[in-house]
Amino acid sequence: MIAHDTLELAICSDCYMYYHDTDSLGSDYLTPEMAHDIRQGFDRLGDVIMGDTHGEDCDDPEDWEDCNCNETHFSWSPCGICASYLGGNRHDVDIIQIKRN
């Protein structure tokens, strides 16, 4: 049986990009420590599926062109994955953790 938990997190752009392209850790501005924290954060999550969170006031969750739920927002709060406190854009995402029994 496959079970899952869903988490709503606000994550930094670096973690967002890493999920979509693991080669993004080769960016010029990422330090080795930052890359380590991102990998470690994903290791803690385990097997996950990520999608942009649709807000409660979303008019059309089936059509991304008609909603603004995938827009970023600035925050000083720590990233929900790598725990970085660096200020920057945050992406509101749903993380589905797959649990295999």
> Among residues 36, 37, 53, which one has the least CA distance to residue 91?
53
> Among residues 82, 18, 87, 16, which one has the least CA distance to residue 52?
16
Q: What is the pLDDT of residue 9?
A: 93
Whose structure tokens read 């080795």?
Answer: 32
In this prediction, residues 12-27 reach a mean pLDDT of: 87
pTM of the model: 0.79
Q: What is the pLDDT of residue 2?
A: 62
Strand partners, 90: 12, 73
Summarised one tens digit per residue, pLDDT across range 36-94 is 999 999 999 988 888 877 666 666 656 556 666 667 889 999 999 999 999 999 999 98
- Of residues 37 and 23, the one with the higher pLDDT is 37
Q: What is the pLDDT of residue 3?
A: 63
Cβ burial, residue 67 (10 Å; 0-12/13-18/19+): middle
